[in-house]
Structure formats: structure tokens, C-alpha cells
Amino acid sequence: SDEPLVIFTPSGKRGRFAVGTPILTAARQLGVDLDSVCGGRGICSKCQITPSYGDFSKHNITVREDALSPWNSVEQRYQDKRGLKEGRRLGCQATVQADVVIDVPPESQVHKQVVRKRAEARDIILNPSTKLFYVEVAEPDMHDPSGDLERLQDAMREQWQLEKVNADLHILQTMQPILRKGAWKVTVAVHLGDQENPARIMHIWPGYYEGTVYGLAVDLGSTTIAAHLCDLQTGEVVASSGTMNPQIRFGEDLMSRVSYSMMNPDGAQEMTRAVREGMNGLFAQIAEEANVDPILIMDAVFVCNPVMHHLFLGIDPFELGQAPFALTTSNAIRLRADDLDLNIHQSARVYLLPCIAGHVGADAAAVALSEAPDKSDDLMLVVDVGTNAEILLGNKDKVLACSSPTGPAFEGAQISSGQRAAPGAIERVEIDPATKIARFKVIGSDIWSDDPAFEAEIANTGVTGICGSGIIEMVAEMRMHGIVDAPGLIGTAEQTGSPNVFPDGRTNSYLVYDGTASGGPKITVTNRDIREIQMAKAALYSGARLLMDKFGVDKVDRVVLAGAFGAHISPLHAMVLGMIPDAPLDKVTSAGNAAGTGARIALLNTEARAEIEATVRAIHKIETAIEPRFQEHFVNASAIPNAVEPFPILNS
Ligand code: FES
């Protein structure tokens, strides 16, 4: 054929098209991902492309300067009003004249890659639930009477192949003046539907709507609620914010909240109200920060543990407080914002990820979505460390899950000088092998405590305590330098050779920092603190070890530490302590807030929802409480690093 050849990059898709074919049309026929909201009318500029000229010996073609049609009036008008970047053309206006190579820049792709993960994890492609469509609607006709909605539906079918998109009452109540104001040209936000819900009109604007629509990815934790506001057209996070979970006043940890609901007749409702109010406060704040009208927030994804899940939905968590820990439902849940009294667009779609089991929630499902052990060739151990550790072990053949009650020690609670991670908290520790004296860094500063500049550096906060990662490093360092023995006892100053050890009741303690001269605290590690850390790490380790038994392995290929806290743990110290199984240190990585990333993935890619639902159904749940081996592992794991397990890689 002597029709011109059109080659698209980066997809490499190619085909021959008649002279005069718009590039947008060629792209559609070849299945090239080129965006358009206005349907080729030269209004939206989403279809921008960059033609390349010159010799393409690889493709055996030469692209002439006149390979595309010259600018037409529509393109010129767009250029005059808004301006196009150098070298860009509107794909719906430029037509093929001769062989040409067309680059589709990332911002013109609908399904762009958005969540850029670490090298070992996959990339996420944008595929949002709600999209914008510009349509031209037929005017009403006395001779052929039909409703405005029906003509709008006809237009969406003809212009966008959208079948039977229905409208909620609030749309019917407002659509007539909007259609007339836009002179029968409108932009429609359509929720494209899912397994359970047909497509629906979310919002209508007169004429071409220049703005965008948004979604929220929310990680509802027992202590904090964190939200990311995302642009559903670009996938970008436009604002992130967090707030304390107001339920804290009903109990610090989950079980105390469950018992609050048992002891108080309206306890569960009170907590439901509190968390929804907190959530609305956070949403208002984040919308204001990003200067976004909350009505433009049309989709929201939530991840949380089972107790938070029930309380957020207004379900009494009573059954989760006692064996056999039955969930009301473990399936994913699809609702509307007004079902949950959320002050975003009233018909905004709300999606809660599925729960894995009574103790392993939608947050763990989100971690699985983010870290994808089910797609890994390597055997991966994924640990989300919190007051409850959620543990996943698996590869592409199978994935096992359990939770383990680590308690709050890793968050600095129940530690004599412990505190939450905040400026002033000790987070990094090193003990000098010769002097056996500790030096440290606090959150908010990069200067070690033995640097002369340290006191001036921390003048604002002072040294206030030790946070979770700090206490882990502290205990591990004490073990590495012979100050603590394998069973967890601090030796005397004489035995250990450390001037910082002092007798403290019937045991010994270690002085980390003495700020009393300047009115600050004295920060010590007591033998009870060591005990608390031993209990917490033993719970974590024995959960992981139990899953390894069930899998029939005694080593793992990779360890991923997830959770805000996990991000700050030093892999070496975690292993010295025996928190995690022996593994090559370079195979122990931190995934940061993987649950939050999972929520963002489910928000931006609706196909990921079906995917995680299938994955969760296939995950084998192990209940640690009824496994006799768990106790045995726990006892062994109380020693540092372990009474029976060798750590061959660590020791080499
Ligand atoms: Fe909207 Fe080209 S498709 S400007």
C-alpha cells in the first residue's frame, strides 16, 4: 500500500492510514493510549503529541517537515488562547500527510504509570473509576419529545460508547439549567462502574470543564488517620495530611476500644461518630490545603484493621474481641459517601479493601497489594510492624498470613524512657566497642551526640526520650557489645566494662544520656525495658517462624519491613535482636507506608481492586493463638537473638 505509515512511540504501534486521517483517529484504531476529553473538538488539549522529523533508519523511513497537515484554525485558536509547548500538536487536529513518527508524551496517556515503586516492585498504571467526558447533546424537539437525560444518554452512547449511564436524583434536580447554560454542550464526570455498580453520572458542568476530579486514599489507623488527595486525571498526589484518630480518647489500643464498646451501651456508636468526624475534619483540611472544592472528591479508598473497619462502618466490633474473632464480612465493601456521612461529593464511591481475617485487616490486604508477594519468585516475608504485627509470607505459589500481638513497646510505650517518634526522640544509637559508651542521634537532627555542635543543634527540642527504632538499636547494640547477654540480662559495670552501667534495684540499668545538668531528663535503659522489647520481638519472630513452618521452609529470600515504623528500623539491628529471621542484609528492605501505597493503588487503578480481592481469597490465614508451635517459638525467640535458631548469615 502507498498510504503513509504512522509509527507511535513509545508503544511502537504502527499502521498505514489514508492521507487526511487525524492522528487521534489513527491512535484509536491502533489502540494507542492517547487521551481525549472533548472527543476531538480541539477544546481539551489532552491529545497533544510530538511529531519527530528526519531519518529513521531503524524504521527505514524519512519523516518530512510536511508529514503532518499545517496548523488549522482550531489549533491556531488553541495556540493563541492557551499556547502549546514547542513542537507539540493537537492529535485530533493534525492529520497524516506522509510517513511520520509520533511521540505520545506521558501526560497525554490516559493509562500513565503513576505509582513509581522501588525497583523490585511493579509500576502502577492509572485507570481511575471516574473520568470526564465532553458531550454535545441534541436540543429538545416538540415533534419528537424526549427527556433531557435520555438525550444526554444518547449523546454519551454515540460520542463515547458509554452505555446506559444513569443519574442519581441530585443530578436530575440540577441538570436542566446546566444543559441550557452550556448551550447543550456539557462536561460529564462519569463513574465507570464496577462489578456491583453500573456506570453513573457523578456531576455535570456547562460547556467544557477545565478542572479535574479527585479521589482520596485513606489509611485509617488506630492512632492516626492519614489521607492522600489524588488528581484522578494525572494520578498525582496533590496533598497529604494526617490527624490523630479521635477514638484515642476511648482507649489507646484496639482491645481497649472493643471493651469500651462492651461496657457502654452506645459505645460503638460514639466511636463511629468520633472517627467519622475526625475523618471529615481531615478531609476539609486537606481540601483547603490543596484549594480543592470537596464536591470534586468523587472516589475514596479506605484501608484499616478489622476493629477500625467495623467501627468506621458503624458495626459493633464485639465479635472481634473474642474467639473465634468472626468478621461481619471479610469481603471488599462498596458504598457511597453519604452512607458514611462523609463530606465529599455525596455520591462519591467509597471502597474498603477486603479483610484477610479477624486479626488481619484491609490494611494487610493493602500491604499485599503494594508489595505483591503473590507475584514474587522469591519467598518474601512482609512484616507490618505496629501494636499488632501483620505478617505475610509467600511467593507466586501461595501466600500465608497471620497477626501477632507485639504490643506497644515498638512504639515506645511501656519503655521507661520511651516515647512516640517525634523531634527530640533518640532514633539511632551506636555503642563504642572500646569505651562501651553510647552515642546517638535524635529525630530532627543529623548530628551525633558526641559532636561538640550537638547541644546547640538540639537546643529547641532537647533530648526527650527513645522512640521505637531507637530502643531496638539500643538493645541490639548492647547485645553486640556484651552489655546484655543472650537471655536478656544487663551485666554489671565490672562484667561489661561499661562505665554507663549502674546498679538499679536488683538489676542493672544503662545510662544513655544525662541531661539533668541543663534541666533535661536522664535517659536510661532498664532491664525491664529489655524484657519488654524481648516480648515484642519474640511475638514478631514467632509469628514469622510459624508461617515458615507452615510453608515448610527454614529461610526466606527477602524481608520487607512495612509501616511508618518499619521504615525507620535498621535491618542489621532488627536481625541482631532476632526480630526477623536470618537473611542477607541487602535483602532486607523497607517499604515505608505500604498500606497507604496499597490504598493509593486501589484508588488509581480500579482493576487492582478485583486483583486484590482475588489475592485475599487465596491467602491462607493462620491463627497464631491456636498453634502450639507458636508458644514454643515464642519461648525460644525471647533470647537475643534466639535460643535455638542459628543466624548463620548474620554471624558470618
Ligand atoms: Fe480534545 Fe484534541 S481531543 S483537543
Ligand 1 site, residue 45, Cβ cutoff 6 A: yes
User: What's the mean pLDDT in 232-236?
Assistant: 92
C-alpha of residue 84 to centroid of ligand 1, in Å: 12
CATH of the domain at 63: 3.10.20.30
pLDDT in tens, 407-464: 888 878 889 999 888 899 999 999 999 999 999 999 989 999 999 999 898 888 899 9
Ligand 1 site, residue 44, Cβ cutoff 6 A: yes
Residue nearest to atom 3 of ligand 1 (CA): 40
This prediction's pTM: 0.86
What's the chain's Rg over C-alpha atoms? 30
Last residue of a domain, one of 185, 206, 227: 206
In a domain, 39, yes or no: yes
One domain, residues 21 and 48 = yes
ipTM of the complex: 0.99
Residues above pLDDT 70, as percent of the chain: 98
pLDDT in tens, 511-564: 999 999 888 899 999 999 999 999 999 999 999 999 999 999 999 999 999 877
Q: Are the beta carbons of 207 and 132 closer than 8 angstroms? A: no
What pLDDT sits at residue 322? 84
- Between these two residues, 628 and 179, which has the higher pLDDT value? 179
Question: Rounded to an integer, what distance in angstroms lies between the CA atom of residue 393 and that of residue 416?
Answer: 33
Last residue of a domain, one of 206, 224, 256: 206
Question: Rounded to an integer, what distance in angstroms lies between the CA atom of residue 456 and that of residue 568?
Answer: 25
One domain, residues 226 and 342 = yes
One domain, residues 469 and 341 = no
Residue 268: which residues within 8 A CB-CB, separation 6 or more?
261, 311, 314, 315, 316, 317, 318
Mapped onto helix, strand or coil, the DSSP state of residue 605 is: strand
What pLDDT sits at residue 261? 87
One domain, residues 75 and 131 = no
Ligand 1 site, residue 508, Cβ cutoff 6 A: no
C-alpha of residue 132 to centroid of ligand 1, in Å: 13
Last residue of a domain, one of 158, 184, 206: 206
pLDDT in tens, 373-394: 999 999 999 998 877 889 999 9
What pLDDT sits at residue 122? 54
Show the domain range for 585: 363-408+533-641
pLDDT in tens, 507-516: 999 999 999 9
C-alpha of residue 351 to centroid of ligand 1, in Å: 32
Domain count for the chain, please give it: 5
What pLDDT sits at residue 118? 53
C-alpha of residue 8 to centroid of ligand 1, in Å: 18
Ligand 1 site, residue 42, Cβ cutoff 6 A: yes
One domain, residues 163 and 119 = yes
Pocket test for ligand 1, best of 23, 35, 38, 159 (most atoms within 8 A of CB): 38
Q: Which atom of ligand 1 is nearest to the CA of 45?
A: 4
One domain, residues 329 and 395 = no
Question: Rounded to an integer, what distance in angstroms lies between the CA atom of residue 194 and that of residue 206?
Answer: 27
C-alpha of residue 37 to centroid of ligand 1, in Å: 7
Pocket test for ligand 1, best of 25, 44, 49 (most atoms within 8 A of CB): 44
Question: Rounded to an integer, what distance in angstroms lies between the CA atom of residue 95 and that of residue 21?
Answer: 5
Mean pLDDT over each residue of the chain, to the nearest integer: 91
Residue 117 has pLDDT above 60, yes or no: no
Residue 120 has pLDDT above 50, yes or no: no
Q: Which atom of ligand 1 is nearest to the CA of 78?
A: 4
What pLDDT sits at residue 650? 76
Q: Which residues in 47-182 belong to E strands, given as ranges? A: 48-52, 54-56, 61-63, 89-90, 100-103, 113-115, 124-125, 130-136, 166-167
Ligand 1 site, residue 90, Cβ cutoff 6 A: yes
Pocket test for ligand 1, best of 25, 33, 35, 43 (most atoms within 8 A of CB): 43
Ligand 1 site, residue 40, Cβ cutoff 6 A: yes
Q: Which atom of ligand 1 is nearest to the CA of 48?
A: 2
Cα dist from 244 to 252, 279, 281, 286, 437, whole Å? 11, 10, 11, 14, 37
Question: Rounded to an integer, what distance in angstroms lies between the CA atom of residue 384 and that of residue 456?
Answer: 36
Ligand 1 site, residue 22, Cβ cutoff 6 A: no
- Between these two residues, 652 and 619, which has the higher pLDDT value? 619
pLDDT in tens, 566-575: 778 888 999 9
CATH of the domain at 375: 3.30.420
